[in-house]
Amino acid sequence: MLDINSSIQYIKGVGEKKAGLFNKLGIFSVRDLIEYYPRAYEDRTNKITVSECESGSVACIEATMITPVKEHFVRRGMTLYKCDFTDGNTVIHVTIFNNKYLAAALKLYENYILYGKIEKNLTSAKMASPEIEKAKGSAAVRPIYHATGRLNSKAIEKVVKTALENLDKFSETLPAEIRLKYKLVSLDFALRQIHFPKDSESLEKARDRLIFEELLTLQLGLLKLKGRRRVKTDIIIKKDYTGEFINLLPFKPTGAQLRAIKECCADMASGYPMNRLLQGDVGSGKTAVAAGIIYTAVKNGYQCALMAPTEILATQHAETLYNMLGGAGIRTQLLTGSTPKKEKRRIKEALLDGETDLIIGTHALIQNDVEFKNLGLVITDEQHRFGVNQRANLAMKGSEAHTLVMSATPIPRTLALMIYGDLDISVLDELPPGRQTVRTDVVDSRYHKRIYAFIKKQIDAGNQAYIVCPLVEEGESENMISAEKYAEELSENDFKGINIGLLHGKMKAAQKENVMRAFADGDIKLLVATTVIEVGVDVPAATVMVIENAERFGLSQLHQLRGRVGRGKAQSYCILISDSKSETAVQRLKTMKKYSDGFKIADMDLKLRGPGDFFGNRQHGLPKLKIADMLENMEILRKCRECADEILAEDYNLDMPKYKTLAGNISEMFRNSAAN
Ligand code: ADP
Ligand code: MG
């Protein structure tokens, strides 16, 4: 018998060379192979005749071969083999490309199953390169695997089959009462049926079971992560200074902002470290929430750190918070890569001595470089690309500080609850009053002149504008030059005499900052930029956002960019320029025109891009899933959350024998995700 943990080389028929090919697919052990689930299935239980199928569809037809194979040499490396079949009524002309062996194996007047796309006309049908198999003995539902060039799906299927035949019954991982309650088939049934299902009903049961187990493992892991942090903290921020803080604000906070501040203050007073996510659309006013809880923390005698993903953003936060809180005696410092060495040393000393209350800087800098006298609260901004492990480390080495993560990626709340199962969540679901929606238009490049004229008029009226050119990848010098050229051309032609700024990823931090500052001060009227402005920068006088090659941006990116305007009182505009005819691109741009609500746009994004993309591992930083899909399987996910809560209530440490395998699987799943 085969051992599930042994190398795949122990499977009959797998030599060193083949094992190497499997390794390329990430398959090393027999277990890896068994968990290499099919990506799809061919259902051959529904054989139909030609007359029953639609032209252009994929069909499975049983037919008899009625003419011998004819060879047509097309050119070097391309030979066609043609022959005819019939299903009894209609003749099917079949073409086979290059496959000498298949052509040679076909026997006249024998019955075959043809599986593939069929094109019909009035009197006959044709199929190009269908899969052809002997009619007898073919499996009903066949698995299709992701394959590499030299290891095709059929070869994988064969090895999986051999492995399953030589493996003992898989031992059960889920306790009987859970299987009963959630109507789950046994693991053994599931693992065998997922590869070679008897019928579609068995397949569905197998999938449900495996998805359930995977999501349950994930939920348990996240909940335990959360629980691990439910170690008491000495940082108890007792007195809530929100009332005082409100008087420092130049505006009246929204109900949502107040609620979020209250939720945070309750956490910070609880005796347990806060681990909270603040979700709010662009412009919903997350910074004021941060300021509010910083104020309370500092007034209670603690230091705070605010971390931003870019220097520009850190700088802007520093300015905003200094203006808001400086007058009330909060001592704020900005620490960035471009801070001079001497100054850096001074800032760090002041922190250690407790002479600074609030330090603002980029993540790397603050996490690695600074020590505090009395750190109480850490806030991280715009962390939509943040892994679980990083989240676990958020509270900085050795500190029990309260943590708040602020994210502008709208995710439906129920889903957020599960993806960020390790965090509590506050949502800013209300925009500050008086915001008009940004008027959005989609035009093609013939409109350039008119757009420039429009921008000029806006600038003459005292407003400012952005033009964003796509920078696909940092370091793609070609694109960078194009942004530079673009700016140059504008300043020589349509915008002569107007101060144009240029901002791109390759610029030094200090340069970027100078440009951003000049734009924020209104010295630069028109900013030509790559997406470095995407995150969080706030310039209220900017009223126009023009996006070149808009089809090259994703929906959430476009939404973020558009969020850069409409921050002041004046009507703002977003102009999306695109010549793309691609259907999804057109759909995406239409969505932007139609909707302004980030949550709505996120929904559409899911629909258009498919969940796999939207929740690619990089975005939420969770362990990679093998079979489950958090969006497609929302219903199961919900049940798993419930089940996980029940399990932890019964046996928090998963010490009971019945949870032993499950506990092992959790460590395995999260250990593997340590790489991300
Ligand atoms: P985001 O959530 O995108 O980080 P910001 O914190 O940058 O949003 O706030 C966006 C703009 O809205 C800022 O100019 C800020 O001053 C303003 N703002 C925030 N809250 C309010 C409010 N309650 N009333 C009016 N303006 C507000
Ligand atoms: Mg922000």
Tens of pLDDT, residues 184-209: 999 999 999 999 998 888 999 999 99
Alpha helices per DSSP H over 420-563? 448-460, 477-492, 509-520, 555-562
Q: How far, in Å, CA of 578 to CA of 652, rounded?
A: 55
Among 40-54, 216-230, 251-265, 428-442, the range with the most confident prediction by mean pLDDT is 251-265
- What is the mean pLDDT of the segment spanning 588-598? 91
**pLDDT value for 224:** 82
Q: Which of 31-45, 82-96, 230-244, 639-653 has the lowest mean pLDDT?
A: 31-45
* Nearest CA, atom 11, ligand 1: 283
**pLDDT value for 434:** 77
Asked if residue 285 has its Cβ within 6 Å of ligand 1, the reply is yes
- What is the mean pLDDT of the segment spanning 33-47? 83
- What is the mean pLDDT of the segment spanning 41-49? 74
pLDDT tens, position by position, 634-661:
789 889 989 999 999 999 999 999 999 9
User: Ligand 1 mean position to 593 CA, how many Å?
Assistant: 23
**pLDDT value for 75:** 87
- Answer yes or no: is pLDDT of 370 > 70: yes
pLDDT tens, position by position, 305-319:
998 877 778 888 999
**pLDDT value for 676:** 34
Q: How far, in Å, CA of 223 to CA of 423, rounded?
A: 9
Asked if residue 251 has its Cβ within 6 Å of ligand 1, the reply is yes
The 3-state secondary structure of 291-350 reads HHHHHHHHHCCCEEEEEECCHHHHHHHHHHHHHHHHHHCCCEEEECCCCCHHHHHHHHHH
What is the DSSP annotation of 76-113?
A: TTEEEEEEEEESSSSEEEEEEES-HHHHHH--TT-EEE
**pLDDT value for 139:** 52
User: Ligand 1 mean position to 207 CA, how many Å?
Assistant: 46
pLDDT tens, position by position, 103-162:
898 988 888 889 899 999 888 999 999 988 887 654 567 888 988 878 888 899 999 999
Residue 382 Cα: closest atom of ligand 1: 4
Query: Six-digit token pair at 291?
Result: 């300021």
Q: How far, in Å, CA of 217 to CA of 624, rounded?
A: 12
- Answer yes or no: is pLDDT of 388 > 60: no
**pLDDT value for 674:** 46
**pLDDT value for 504:** 83
pLDDT tens, position by position, 602-633:
777 766 665 444 444 344 556 778 898 777 78
Query: Six-digit token pair at 565?
Result: 């305007």
**pLDDT value for 611:** 46
pLDDT tens, position by position, 91-117:
999 999 988 888 898 988 888 889 899
**pLDDT value for 673:** 55
Spell out which residues have Cβ within 5 A of ligand 2, the ion.
536
Asked if residue 286 has its Cβ within 6 Å of ligand 1, the reply is yes
More confident residue, 95 or 511: 95
The pTM for the full model equals 0.66
Query: Six-digit token pair at 232?
Result: 């008491």
Q: Which of 81-85, 403-407, 483-487 has the lowest mean pLDDT?
A: 483-487
Task: State the burial class of residue 386 (Cβ atoms within 10 Å of its Cβ: 0-12, 13-18, 19+).
Answer: buried
Asked if residue 567 has its Cβ within 6 Å of ligand 1, the reply is yes
- Answer yes or no: is pLDDT of 281 > 90: no
More confident residue, 247 or 431: 247
Other CB atoms within 10 Å distance of the CB of residue 239? 11
- Answer yes or no: is pLDDT of 432 > 80: yes
- Answer yes or no: is pLDDT of 391 > 60: no
Among 30-44, 165-179, 383-397, 604-618, the range with the most confident prediction by mean pLDDT is 165-179
**pLDDT value for 127:** 95
**pLDDT value for 614:** 45
Query: Mean pLDDT over all residues of the chain?
Result: 86
Confidence of residue 275 (pLDDT cuts 50, 70, 90): confident
Identify which of 242, 284, 539, 543 to mutate to test ligand 1's pocket (most ligand atoms within 8 A of the CB): 284
Query: Six-digit token pair at 601?
Result: 């746009």
- Answer yes or no: is pLDDT of 443 > 50: yes
**pLDDT value for 675:** 38
CA nearest neighbour of 541 among 574, 558, 565: 565
**pLDDT value for 393:** 54
Residue 257 Cα: closest atom of ligand 1: 23
Ligand sitting nearest the alpha carbon of 249: 1
**pLDDT value for 617:** 37
User: Ligand 1 mean position to 579 CA, how many Å?
Assistant: 34
Angle at 657 between CA 655 and CA 185, to 5 degrees: 120
User: Ligand 1 mean position to 568 CA, how many Å?
Assistant: 10
pLDDT tens, position by position, 56-68:
888 888 898 989 9
- Answer yes or no: is pLDDT of 474 > 50: no
User: Ligand 1 mean position to 170 CA, how many Å?
Assistant: 56
User: Ligand 2 mean position to 532 CA, how many Å?
Assistant: 14
Residue 252 Cα: closest atom of ligand 1: 23
- Answer yes or no: is pLDDT of 400 > 70: yes
* Nearest CA, atom 5, ligand 1: 285
Ligand sitting nearest the alpha carbon of 258: 1
- Answer yes or no: is pLDDT of 268 > 90: yes
Query: Six-digit token pair at 581?
Result: 């005819």
* Nearest CA, atom 21, ligand 1: 432
What is the DSSP annotation of 366-379?
A: HHHH---SSEEEEE
**pLDDT value for 229:** 60
| Side-chain half-sphere CA neighbours of 554 within 13 A | 16
Instruction: Report percent pLDDT > 90 for the chain.
Output: 49
- What is the mean pLDDT of the segment spanning 3-32? 92
Confidence of residue 479 (pLDDT cuts 50, 70, 90): very low
Among 32-36, 517-521, 567-571, the range with the most confident prediction by mean pLDDT is 32-36
Distance of CA 466 to the CA centre of its chain: 27
Residues 6 or more apart whose Cβ sits within 8 Å of residue 657: none
Ligand sitting nearest the alpha carbon of 535: 2
Distance of CA 521 to the CA centre of its chain: 35
